[in-house]
Structure 1
Amino acid sequence: MRVHGLDCSSTSVSGRGCPYFDPEYDTLSLRLDPPSVVIDNTSCPDATLIKVDSKNKHGILLEVVQVLTDLDLAISKAYISSDGGWFMDVFHVTDQLGNKLIDEGIIDYIQQSLGAKQDSQTTEVQTCLGRRFSLRSNTEQTAIELCGRDRPGLLSDISGVLKDMMCNVVAAEVWTHNLRVACVVYVTDEVTGGPIEDEKKLAVIKARLSQALQGDESGKGSKTDIPMAVLHTERRLHQIMSADFAAIQPESTNTFVAAADKTRPAISVQNCAEKGYSVVNVRCKDRPKLLFDTVCTLTDMKYVVFHAAIRSEGSFAYQEYYIRLMDGCTLKSEAEQEYVVKCLEAAIERRTGGGIRLELCTKDRVGLLSDVTRIFRENGLSVTRADVSTQGDKAVNVFYVTDASGNPVDRRIVEATRKEIGQSILQVKDLTPSSPNSQHEVASKSRFSFGTFLYSLGLINSQQV
């Protein structure tokens, strides 16, 4: 049978009789009606406006926010609407130094990443913080995922195992929260310089890392996995810790935050019954990648953001989301609302590991991470968060450290550690760097509520604003 010139009786290449679908069909709608991405540097004196119009699909908001935050951009304000078949949003952004976007490579990269520019040649850019970011996924490394109970010296043990197994750590990211740890490590084979392909070696690595994670009888809920690929490290870390959170349910999690405690996230969930939305309000200290963390959590919990308003005022961020589940339902039960509050609070806090920030930059070599973290452990330093990367032949690593009890570290110990590693190699940075939004006052001073905006359009009544 032939329909419009297509032979519907043709079989797949495998010969199993499955209908053949042209792979070009998946991108047909994108090519016929590509997203519109406008970079506007004239409308706002203090920020670049990025306007995105596209056909709506689940997760598109996260895709956009992910692209912007991966480029080390600060989002000071955003208006999002996707109630229907079309997605429209506006982001007010600067780089982390408070400047507008003038780098043509960055602008081209944004348009290419969001599908608005199909013929672009930009595949790698350098952010204002000096990080290089590539549009192409790197398949020349082996990814390892770990999750379990945190303890002093754990990162040293993990990196020690990898060193013994002749693995070179190319990149890694470590998060800790509520005495739990999640880690994604990218390694190469020391001999071949490529991914580890020996299945027996992979099995031994997995077994030894699992043993290091368990440590003692307190290794409840530990998990080691070697996936085929990790599409986005930070999203994967959120997923790992969210799954671990659901399984372990730490007793130390504080569900409801007192209004007087302005250092903790204040999160509330209410139902807008008239229009069938659940309204999530978040107030917390502003910081880079905050919007990514909350949008990522809602998306992976299968909630759809129909409307949202985001703003920064001074050092605080305010976020308001109008959401439903993918099946159209709202958060009806108190237990469900409480769980969303817990998950959002955890997502906000898990990236902000306390401690002194130490930055290491030196020539990369096999075993470097193992040697550095061993010295940390020998000096009583515990790593609460780490970002390990390789740029060319340089290792560029960031560590947040406390003492073994989680308390601030004596500066004399820090200086002794620096002396042992190399004072020119290991630098001490400010513990809580100021947000670029507070430095440059990118955000508008007016207090905007999306609820007020919807009320002005007659979509909700005044009691719900």
Structure 2
Amino acid sequence: MEVCCPYFDPDFENYNERINGPRVSVDNEACDRCTVVKVDSLDRQGLLLEVVQVLTDMDLFISKSYISSDAGWFMDVFHVKDQLGSKVTDRRVISYIQQAVGVRRGLQSAGEVKACYENSVKTESASEHTAIEMIGTNRPGLFSEISAVLAEQRCNVVEAHAWSHNACLACVAYVSDESTSACINDPNRLATIEDHLSTVLQPATVPDNDHRGVKTCFLDCSSSPSGTERRLHQLMLANRDFDESPGPSSPSFSSMSMDSSTEEGRRTVVSIDSCEEKGYSVVNVECMDRPKLMFDIVCTLTDLQYVVFHASITSHGPSAYQEYYIRHIDGYMLDTPDERLEVSRCLEAAIERRVCEACTTKRPSGVRLELCAENTAGLLPYVTRILREYGLTVARADIASEGGKTRNVFYVQDISGKEVDMEAVEAMMRELEPLALQVKNELTMPPRRGLHPSGREGEGFSFFSLLRSQLERLSIASYRHD
């Protein structure tokens, strides 16, 4: 006898996503000064972060956003600009946003979406290199020592990103073999590299029984710039960089920048309230506006296992005001003062880790240096050694290679914690000739044409009013106010 079994369509699991999957519209007509990106979709965990990551990968600045994901439906509106403060008009960028946000399981691969915009990843293919992540207690000259170890082990640094905050340094580096330019796969060689890096990362002033911050490992390569930055956030968070420094160390670039900007009223303020009737914890953030601010906050909330149900993001002049209505992934609110304090400190740390990008004080305690040169194996250790000889330490670094050239961006500060001596910097630049090292301290935030600072005008905004006027907000007329 034949046995009949019920038939299950293998695509049935994705049926809802096929019908109600992300619908993305990119509108350049609705707003005079911004491009409006609207996303409607069946809600699922992590979708907000995915959307923000796509916008971040395209180096777009989010000046305003409204988030709503109640009742199983996800509706987001983002007002974005490019790096020049203009609307997004590049059709490749628009196509990439629409397709990348619209990726659904089993319908498109990430590679197919990436192909729609050939420059979406600005560095060489990371899959051809070995990725190393490092975390340790920061000290003056540590990044220079890491560069020297990699050079001694015949590793060419193709790409690297390093952050320092509160006596903690995290680094993700993509390296290749110096002689073959190929990925390093030999287990013995990898073990030797890890051993030497662990020795350098091990703090000399911390007791032997406290090495929780010392870690090196090899990992799968990420082709997404925001993926690497999220990993840096995770490394710093796991190492509790939001805690006070355990011992004497020089202040980080970011903490110095925040202290120096206090006079201008731009210090980061994070507060957490309760919305008992709706069962939400309300996170309010007020700080200096800058690129990737929303990504840093959403990334941290996600890694802390919190879900964002509603949010409102606005900018007024140089200041940003962000409001998030959240619950833990298990459904509960932030009930205790200790929970609120820890989440507040985690968010403050996430904001301050890269605040040096927007250091615009008249007498900056740090300097941004940029060097573009041929991609040679010994360039990075040579330059960082010269920086250390002139009393400078790297607080943050971004190294990327493309087309045989490497672009090195260093955020440096004086080893003693004082203001950087610009005469010493000029002498160092002369020593590095013919390498064209440039000092760039200009603001990296997009210009805000037509915007007038309105003080604390937006501070009284509440998401309850947004919910009451949701239908009006979704109309085209509401987009015309930026």
Which amino acid is the alignment partner of residue 451 of structure 2?
A: E
Aligned match for 2:122, one of 125, 128, 132: 132
Cα shift at 1:125: 4.3
For residue 416 of structure 1, give the secondary structure of its aligned residue in structure 2.
helix
Aligned match for 2:46, one of 50, 59, 64: 59
Q: 1:186 to 1:29 in 2, by over 3 A?
A: farther
Corresponding position of 2:82: 95
Whether 1:449 and 2:461 are equivalent positions in the alignment is: yes
Q: Distance in 1 between matches of 2:168 and 2:366?
A: 16
Corresponding position of 1:356: 367
Corresponding position of 1:425: 436
Determine if contact 1:270/1:279 at 8 Å carries over to the other structure: yes
For residue 132 of structure 1, give the secondary structure of its aligned residue in structure 2.
coil
Corresponding position of 1:187: 175
Cα shift at 1:124: 3.8
Cα shift at 1:88: 0.6
Cα shift at 1:261: 7.4
After TM superposition, the score normalised by the length of structure 2 is: 0.83
Cα shift at 1:243: 0.6
Cα shift at 1:260: 8.1
Q: 1:100 to 1:423 in 2, by over 3 A?
A: farther
Whether 1:224 and 2:224 are equivalent positions in the alignment is: no
Whether 1:387 and 2:387 are equivalent positions in the alignment is: no
Cα shift at 1:194: 2.0
Determine if contact 1:437/1:443 at 8 Å carries over to the other structure: no
Cα shift at 1:262: 2.0
Cα shift at 1:27: 5.2
Determine if contact 1:124/1:133 at 8 Å carries over to the other structure: no
Q: Distance in 2 between matches of 1:35 and 1:95?
A: 23
* Count of equivalent residues: 435
Which amino acid is the alignment partner of residue 94 of structure 1?
A: K
Q: Distance in 2 between matches of 1:83 and 1:194?
A: 48
Corresponding position of 2:137: 149
Aligned match for 2:273, one of 266, 270, 274: 270
Whether 1:197 and 2:212 are equivalent positions in the alignment is: no
Determine if contact 1:124/1:132 at 8 Å carries over to the other structure: no
Determine if contact 1:279/1:322 at 8 Å carries over to the other structure: yes
Q: Distance in 1 between matches of 2:437 and 2:263?
A: 38
Q: Deviations over 1:352-373 (max 9, x none)?
A: 2461010110111112111110
Q: Distance in 2 between matches of 1:227 and 1:280?
A: 33
Q: Distance in 2 between matches of 1:329 and 1:423?
A: 60
Q: Deviations over 1:194-230 (max 9, x none)?
A: 2110000000000000001115233842211112344
Q: 1:439 to 1:153 in 2, by over 3 A?
A: farther
For residue 396 of structure 1, give the secondary structure of its aligned residue in structure 2.
strand
Determine if contact 1:311/1:443 at 8 Å carries over to the other structure: no
Corresponding position of 2:317: 314
Whether 1:162 and 2:172 are equivalent positions in the alignment is: no
Corresponding position of 2:412: 401
Q: 1:197 to 1:29 in 2, by over 3 A?
A: farther
For residue 226 of structure 1, give the secondary structure of its aligned residue in structure 2.
strand
Q: Distance in 1 between matches of 2:96 and 2:425?
A: 40
Q: 1:244 to 1:440 in 2, by over 3 A?
A: farther
Compare 440-449 and 41-50 and name the one that shifted more.
440-449
Q: Deviations over 1:296-351 (max 9, x none)?
A: 01011010000000011100000000000011100000100011110000000011
Determine if contact 1:77/1:311 at 8 Å carries over to the other structure: yes
Aligned match for 1:174, one of 162, 167, 192: 162
Q: Distance in 1 between matches of 2:187 and 2:158?
A: 20
Which amino acid is the alignment partner of residue 461 of structure 2?
A: S
Q: Distance in 1 between matches of 2:344 and 2:135?
A: 23
Q: Distance in 2 between matches of 1:186 and 1:120?
A: 23
Determine if contact 2:159/2:175 at 8 Å carries over to the other structure: yes
Cα shift at 1:457: 6.2
Q: Distance in 2 between matches of 1:106 and 1:442?
A: 29
Determine if contact 1:98/1:440 at 8 Å carries over to the other structure: no
List runs of 5+ in structure 1 lacking aligned partners: 7-20, 459-465
Which amino acid is the alignment partner of residue 122 of structure 2?
A: R
Cα shift at 1:112: 1.7
Cα shift at 1:41: 0.3
Q: Deviations over 1:37-95 (max 9, x none)?
A: 00000010000000011121111111111111121111000000001211110000010
Q: Deviations over 1:393-439 (max 9, x none)?
A: 11111101111023221111111111122266211011x51632545
After TM superposition, the score normalised by the length of structure 1 is: 0.86
* CA RMSD, 1 decimal: 2.9
For residue 405 of structure 1, give the secondary structure of its aligned residue in structure 2.
coil
Whether 1:69 and 2:56 are equivalent positions in the alignment is: yes
Q: Distance in 2 between matches of 1:390 and 1:440?
A: 36
Q: Distance in 2 between matches of 1:44 and 1:141?
A: 43
For residue 181 of structure 2, give the secondary structure of its aligned residue in structure 1.
coil
Cα shift at 1:31: 3.5
Corresponding position of 2:201: 213
List runs of 5+ in structure 2 lacking aligned partners: 357-364, 471-482
Which amino acid is the alignment partner of residue 99 of structure 1?
A: S
Corresponding position of 2:479: none
More contact order relative to length (CA 8 Å, sep ≥ 6): 2
Q: Distance in 2 between matches of 1:41 and 1:165?
A: 51
Q: Distance in 2 between matches of 1:389 and 1:2?
A: 59
Determine if contact 1:358/1:428 at 8 Å carries over to the other structure: yes
